[in-house]
């Protein structure tokens, strides 16, 4: 093995180690403390707390999440029409940088075992102190996978927690229950595990990403993949969500 290759492997290994140490020993504790503070504040203002989990890496702010923001706002309006106050709380699964993304890969692959456990404990503590409140965990794609992992770990005051999971990736082993609504398009190649189509989308993504960025259209790699059927719109799911909300809240 050439010296250059050894240096490259050493640097990549070092980056992985640093990223995992940062994620598990620094980020998780800081992030869950911030989330707990936001949850407590929201509980002081509203009867229902709607927790937003974006797709992808889980770093997109609510206002910028044009794929899921409209759905969350419609859910909020549905609940408010029942005369209840609703607060939206963002939950971030990592940071928007290379260390943050690399550090979270292990959590994504394993179904968020550590982060969802901390999240569930905070929600349980919140409901223990606020038994008259309602918590909705809503997630898109990887956010839906996280939501499912979180709600399966909540055992105290579980009747006060529901989960709305949109476009969960096929590899997630899902927990089912009357407080869980899973929404999946029939033509969503990611949710339905259409491997051939996914490989094709992944293969063409670097070329699309390069071409669009050369043209000045700065798109993300996930946008370049353009996963067929993985776009969800309120008009298509509003009836299903509306019935679920009416039954559970």
Cα Rg of the chain (Å, integer): 19
| Spatial separation of the C-alpha atoms in residues 227 and 229, rounded to whole Å | 6
DSSP 8-class letter at 47: S
Encode the chain (249 residues) as per-residue pLDDT tens digits: 677 777 888 888 999 999 999 999 999 999 999 999 999 999 999 999 999 999 999 999 999 999 999 999 999 999 999 999 999 999 999 999 999 999 999 999 999 999 999 999 999 999 999 999 999 999 999 999 999 999 999 988 889 999 999 999 999 888 888 999 999 999 999 999 898 988 888 888 788 878 788 888 777 766 777 788 899 999 999 999 999 999 998
Q: What is the pLDDT of residue 61?
A: 95
Q: What is the pLDDT of residue 7?
A: 81
Q: What is the pLDDT of residue 210?
A: 83
| Spatial separation of the C-alpha atoms in residues 174 and 131, rounded to whole Å | 27
Please, which residues have CB within 8 angstroms of residue 210's CB and are 6 or more apart in sequence?
none
| pTM for this prediction | 0.91
Q: What is the pLDDT of residue 79?
A: 97
| Spatial separation of the C-alpha atoms in residues 83 and 76, rounded to whole Å | 11
Torsion of Cα atoms, 139 then 142 then 144 then 146, to 10°? -100
SS3 content of the chain, % helix, strand, coil (to 5): 55, 10, 30
């Amino acid at each position: 093995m050439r010296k250059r290759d050894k240096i490259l492997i050493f640097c990549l290994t070092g980056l992985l180690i640093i990223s995992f140490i940062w994620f598990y020993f620094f980020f998780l504790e800081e992030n869950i403390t911030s989330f707990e503070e936001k949850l407590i504040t929201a509980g002081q203002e509203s009867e229902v707390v709607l927790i937003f989990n974006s797709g992808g890496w889980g770093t997109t702010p609510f206002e910028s999440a044009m794929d899921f923001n409209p759905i969350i706002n419609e859910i909020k309006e549905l609940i408010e029409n029942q005369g209840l106050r609703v607060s939206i709380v963002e939950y971030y699964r990592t940071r928007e940088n290379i260390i943050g993304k690399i550090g979270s890969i292990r959590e994504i692959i394993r179904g968020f075992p550590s982060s969802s456990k901390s999240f569930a404990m905070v929600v349980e503590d919140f409901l223990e102190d606020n038994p008259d409140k309602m918590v909705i965990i809503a997630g898109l794609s990887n956010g839906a996978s996280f939501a499912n992992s979180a709600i399966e770990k909540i055992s105290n005051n579980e009747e006060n927690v529901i989960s709305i999971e949109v476009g969960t990736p096929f590899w997630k082993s899902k927990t089912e229950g009357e407080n869980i609504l899973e929404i999946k398009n029939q033509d969503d190649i990611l949710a339905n595990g259409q491997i051939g189509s996914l490989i094709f989308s992944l293969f063409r993504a670097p070329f699309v990403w390069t071409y669009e960025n050369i043209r000045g259209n700065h798109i993300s790699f996930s946008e370049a993949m353009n996963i067929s059927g993985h776009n969800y719109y309120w008009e298509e799911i509003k009836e299903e969500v509306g019935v679920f909300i009416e039954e559970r809240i």
